[in-house]
Amino acid sequence: MIPIIYTAQFHFPRSKDFIDFSRTILSRRLNSIKHINMYWTGLDAYTLPSHWNQLWEILSRMEGLQELQILAVVPSTSNIEQIKNIASGLTSMKKIEGLRLFELLVPESQFHFWDDTLRSEPQMKLVSMPGS
């Protein structure tokens, strides 16, 4: 019965939540997770998670992971340089390969900022959220 629980979709509001979660369960259970959604809102250049390398390392080792979606929302007061700085902090996600779905969802109004920085990431699809 327990393995079925870990095949469900998981949602993590902060990257640190996922790291903490990964430390509390057996590695075989972590490896059985297939779908993860992360919602990062209020990102700014001053609050970039210092543990992103650790996050990408854990995710890249998950044998059963098939889908990863990350919603990244930067405050509307941010300028292009701040968004590029935040986007550059995601470059260590290159460790994640072979997923069926790997999407970074961003507000439509900020899409071009992210696209300029992340265009060369073939394993990840950048998705614009209309009306945001």
pLDDT, tens digit (0-9, with 9 covering 90-100), for 5-52? 555 677 887 778 888 999 999 998 899 899 998 887 766 555 566 677
> For residue range 61-90, what is the model confidence (pLDDT) as tens digits?
999 999 999 888 877 766 677 777 777 667
Query: Quick one: pLDDT band at residue 1, thresholds 50, 70, 90?
Result: very low
Q: Which residue(s) pair with 39 in the sheet? A: 71
Its pTM stands at 0.81
Residue 19: what are its φ and ψ, rounded to 5°? -60, -45
DSSP string, 41-110: ES--TTS--TTHHHHHHHHHH-TT--EEEEEEE--TT--HHHHHHHHHTTGGGGG----SEEEEEEEGGG
